[in-house]
Amino acid sequence: MDWLYMHMPIAGVDIFWPGLLLIGYAVGVIGGFFGMGGAWMVTPGLNILGFPMAFAIGTDIAHIAGKSMISTMRHSKFGNVDYKLGFIMLIGTMAGIELGAQIVMILERQGSIGSVVRWVYVGFLALIALMVFYDYFKAVRSKTKSDDPSHTGATGGVNWAPAMHKINIPPMMHFKVAGIHCSMWLPVMVSFITGVLAGFLGIGGGLLRMPALVYFIGAPTHVAVGTDLFEVMISGLYGAFTYSLKGRIELVAVFVMLCGAAVGAQIGTVATKYAKGYGIRLMFGCAVLACMVSIILKQFNVTALATVIILGAITAICVYIMSIMFRGAANELREKRLNGSTGGAS
């Protein structure tokens, strides 16, 4: 069974390559659907396969860049990417990621990196999960009260964007695809803060930036997902470069994972076409919660259970998204066939 193992030239270990393909596929599905890179899911997977931790973060980030590229191409065709907003946010993201990475290097020297990163991560994940679930239940209650059948619920949940849009520090900008008008400094500041956290935590930042785009900048969920993937792609490439310079990347593993991610990203991205905005948000909240619980368990050295929770959550979410995609696609193709035969009959 030697052919199932691939030698990693830099890390110097033999890795079960179908496992890499599977990780790439699952993260591709989930990342394409939620608009995030999914580094939190990749690391435990790589650990299980026997990957040295020193290379895990860099390899994660490079793989995320390539995978996000594939998802961004698809989302762009759906009209879900606001490139203007994405480019403006890049300013803050780049500066933020570099600062975050420097903080990591400083803490590494002091030897306190693992614990600090984990608790900061847990704090932010708890906030995001709380916000997403509160928003969802508030929107559901608001929709239930409303008799108007055309009520979309977009304004029923948490909506801080209008207050943020009142910040009128020039230059003011209009973002056509996202349908928002605000100060240029709002997306720059939001992306800077999420960038610092991303660099610090060694993640692409989508887990933080996607909800920030929805709740602080006011982008519709689907546009937030698409634009965020564009951001993750650029910041991932930048991250891949800096981590390569630091000698923390295993390119062969990146290429193998990308092959799986190419298929998964299509499924995840196309699934957004058949999902409602609040459905995506609710599932996103569940993913964040699973990530948070696993990190808390890791902090208390219950690593095996943490890994089981992460892998269980990945499997459950992945299967759910695949079911959305396949059901939606089957319905669409059935309708097309019916319309075709009706058209042919008349």
3-state secondary structure of 175: strand
Is 18 among the residues that bind other proteins (CB under 8 A)?
no
Query: 126, 184, 263, 286: which one contacts other proteins (CB under 8 A)?
Result: 263
Assigned token pair, 271: 């699934």
Is 105 among the residues that bind other proteins (CB under 8 A)?
yes
Per DSSP, the residues of 186-246 read HHHHHHHHHHHHHHHHTS-SHHHHHHHIIIII---HHHHHHHHHHHHHHHHHHHHHHHHHT
**Site for other proteins, residues 314 to 343, rule: CB under 8 A:** 329, 332-333, 336
**Site for other proteins, residues 149 to 168, rule: CB under 8 A:** 151-154, 156, 166-168
What lies within 8 Å, CB to CB, of 234 at 6+ separation is 86, 90, 93
Q: How far is CA 269 from CA 149, 272, 280, 296, 336, in A?
A: 28, 6, 12, 30, 21
| d(C-alpha 178, C-alpha 12), whole Å | 46
Phi, psi of 260 (to 5 degrees): -70, -40
Assigned token pair, 273: 């076409």
**Toward other proteins, which CB reaches closer, 19 or 226?**
226
**Toward other proteins, which CB reaches closer, 137 or 305?**
137
State the nearest-atom distance from the C-beta of 69 to other proteins, in Å. Answer: 4
x/- track of binding to other proteins for residues 176-195 (CB under 8 A): -------------x--x---
Is 81 among the residues that bind other proteins (CB under 8 A)?
no
3-state secondary structure of 142: helix
**Toward other proteins, which CB reaches closer, 118 or 138?**
138
Q: CB-based burial of residue 263 (10 Å sphere; 0-12 exposed, 13-18 middle, 19+ buried)?
A: middle
Question: Which regions of the chain does DSSP assign to beta strands (E)?
Answer: 5-8, 13-16, 172-175, 180-183
With beta carbons less than 8 A apart as the criterion, state whether 60 and 23 touch: no
- Applying CB under 8 A, which part among 38-46, 119-127, 275-283, 309-317 lies near other proteins? 275-283
Is 70 among the residues that bind other proteins (CB under 8 A)?
yes
Q: How many residues bind other proteins (CB under 8 A)?
A: 75
**Site for other proteins, residues 193 to 212, rule: CB under 8 A:** 196
**Toward other proteins, which CB reaches closer, 6 or 49?**
6
For residue 91, the one-letter residue type is I
Is 217 among the residues that bind other proteins (CB under 8 A)?
no
Is 289 among the residues that bind other proteins (CB under 8 A)?
no
Is 7 among the residues that bind other proteins (CB under 8 A)?
yes
Query: 56, 89, 249, 311: which one contacts other proteins (CB under 8 A)?
Result: 249
Q: How far is CA 104 from the centre of its chain?
A: 21
State the nearest-atom distance from the C-beta of 302 to other proteins, in Å. Answer: 28
Is 120 among the residues that bind other proteins (CB under 8 A)?
no
Is 145 among the residues that bind other proteins (CB under 8 A)?
no
Phi, psi of 157 (to 5 degrees): -95, -155
Query: 158, 262, 286, 302: which one contacts other proteins (CB under 8 A)?
Result: 262
Is 121 among the residues that bind other proteins (CB under 8 A)?
no
